[in-house]
Chains A and B, each alone.
Chain A
Amino acid sequence: MNGEKLIVLPDPPHEPPELEFILSGCTTDHEQKAIAQAFHTFAQGDPGSFSVQFAVLLQAHSEALESVPERLRQAVATEFSNVGDLLLAHKASVKGPEAR
């Protein structure tokens, strides 16, 4: 064995992010195919029509949701940092008399 992969499977095809987001809730291939087909059918046509505008809104939502984990991580990191500072200060004040 020289470590070379014998079978290189192609990457799965990528759907638009908003559709990937919806499809993540599907459990079967059949469900995924049905939803993907419906999505592609509804999201094409006159940009002024309801279904296409809805698809645009869905896209905007999914793009906004994509940044949520990072924003959440930053918010939690800031809070932890504040609490940590507070704990350190408290610890130092408690330790103070013993040191003396």
Chain B
Amino acid sequence: MSEQSEVAIEQRAGKRRFIACRQSTGRVGKSTVAEGLITWLRYAGIEFGAIDADSQHQTLFHRYPGEVGIFDATKTFDDFASMIQTLPASPVILVDFPAQATDFLLSAAQHFRLLEFFEQSNVRPTLLVFAADDPTAKESASNTVRFFGDNADYLLVENPARFKSAEFSRTALGNWLRQRNTPTLRIPTVTAVTMNGWEALEDKLKRYLSLDEVCRQKDLHELSRYELQFLRNRFLVQFEDFARHLLPDTSLIKNKVARCRETSQQKIDRFNDPLLATL
């Protein structure tokens, strides 16, 4: 991403970020991404408030009871209004919405003039868009982008284990997001054996385990532990890379991830390229 657009994103970030994790179809890894984001916010030492609006699953609420509140804001406009009026005062607010709630959320946002409210309150929204090829997901994403337009920042999510994204990237919406240098988060594949092992361990211990906690559990097979550590590391690295889209100010990051020394890329100067010079 160019330095200029990075600065532009930071300038319009406002004082708070409202991150909406939403998608029209289920089982795409929505709560996994929200969990990854919470893991990074905790690791980076950033103050945040999180709301689990998915009353059916309540995954986040169970795994992070001290940090995640529960609020079903997708039944009536009253519920939605209450949620917006009682948003935490933290610099980062994360809301995990249930699947198939896009139409309701957009109607409520229109009804309450959410864009104006956000602008007046100095809140900049960031919307997670799951780049799935199925028609419902594409329609949901295009409706969302049509409503929010340039009044929000976006983060594309690809989850090769759950859906394909080739068709999505060829749509006009994919192109629109690319023109805005929208970063893409890729969720690494985690085997069913590991996911089942995590849930089995929760059943055995009779309590929910966060991603941080399960990575340290000796009762989980070490291969599964390494697989989950890799998932956690990929979340930490990618969210830190996309911090400008997720935080009001990147100086809020207190703890950064370890980085291997990167290859120094040579910049190609096409004007002075000796191989292209005319003799």
Which chain A residues have a beta carbon within 8 Å of chain B's beta carbons? Answer: 6-8, 10, 13-16, 36, 39-47, 49-52, 55
Contact = CB atoms under 8 A, between A and B. Distances in A.
Contacts of A10: 266
B230 A51 contact: yes
Contacts of B263: 13-15, 36, 40
Interface string B221-248: 0000110011011101100000000000
B211 to A, nearest CB: 11
B179 interface: no
Contacts of A47: 257-258
Contact of A13 (B43, B237, B260, B265): B265
16 contacts: A6-B274, A7-B275, A10-B266, A13-B264, A15-B263, A42-B230, A44-B233, A44-B258, A45-B229, A45-B237, A46-B257, A47-B258, A49-B215, A49-B229, A49-B232, A55-B260
A90 B266 CA distance: 60
B261 A16 contact: yes
Given A7-B275, A51-B226, A46 B233 contact: yes
Nearest to B226: A50
B232 A45 contact: yes
Most interface-central of A6, A42, A44, A50 (chain B CB within 10 A): A44
B143 to A, nearest CB: 35
Nearest to A52: B258
B229 A44 contact: no
Contact of B260 (A7, A14, A39): A39
B78 interface: no
B150 interface: no
Given A13-B264, A40-B260, 19 more contacts: A7-B275, A8-B274, A14-B264, A39-B260, A41-B234, A42-B230, A43-B260, A44-B233, A44-B237, A44-B257, A44-B258, A44-B259, A45-B258, A46-B232, A46-B233, A46-B236, A47-B257, A51-B226, A51-B233
